[in-house]
Amino acid sequence: MMTKIAIISDIHSNFEAFKNVLKKIKKLGIKKIYCCGDIVGYGAEPNECVELIRKDKIISIMGNHDIGCVNLQDKELFNQWGRAAIEWSNKILNEENKGFLFNLPKTLEAEGVYFVHGSPRDYLWEYVYPDDSAWSFREFFNKIGKDVLVMGHTHVPFIRDFKGKLAINPGSVGQPRDGNAKASFCILDTVKKKAEIKRIKYDVKKTADKIKKAGLPEFLAERLFKGI
């Protein structure tokens, strides 16, 4: 019986990173992949990333950029670069892919795991960091009634173990922000409740060049080289 799943998040229209991560996951022999949202936003290939999610039947939930790119929801909550990217993506995404993003669930319970983009308190917008208080995590576990909680949104990977209860952020496939430019994802053994963060190289320059060519803010390209 296969007990290992792959968890990805925050692809952010970075098709080069996404392809490399999927290639690595397949090489590891893992069949089932879950995505914690933000398939689009920031990068230059939103349609390509959504279509690969759909083609590979990756089970995904909604991120704040996903709904923002569909209908510009809460666009005033994004910083200047994020807002520019969602406005650009809104024009570029085709209607079929917009429909797919619009209909993504905000939470998911599967494999004994609770998946959410932000947090169990605020599905789309709350940032949960690895050094947040244990009290805060206990509140989350009490709320969800599961032993494994997976969140995205911060682009900062972590695994915290609270006496057998796991809180996980797989980090970002397409825009890491922990000072490491490599794409990030997580492998979880759902029976043993053991998780491991994986990092993998991709062609950062190729992605950055696509962002610049699309006319998106140059900062969104330059930050990829530093993982910030």
List, in order, residues 6 or more apart from 161 with CB less than 8 Å away: none
Strands of the sheet with 194-200, listed across from one edge: 59-60, 33-35, 4-8, 183-189, 194-200
Confidence of residue 96 (pLDDT cuts 50, 70, 90): very high
pLDDT in tens, 109-138: 999 999 999 999 999 999 999 999 999 999
| Structure confidence at residue 1 (pLDDT) | 57
pLDDT over 70, % of the chain: 99
CB 5 within 8 A of CB 188: yes
Confidence of residue 85 (pLDDT cuts 50, 70, 90): very high
SS3 state at 138: helix
pLDDT in tens, 162-193: 999 999 999 999 999 999 999 999 999 999 99
Domains of the chain: 4-226 (3.60.21.10)
pLDDT in tens, 17-69: 999 999 999 999 999 999 999 999 999 999 999 999 999 999 999 999 999 99
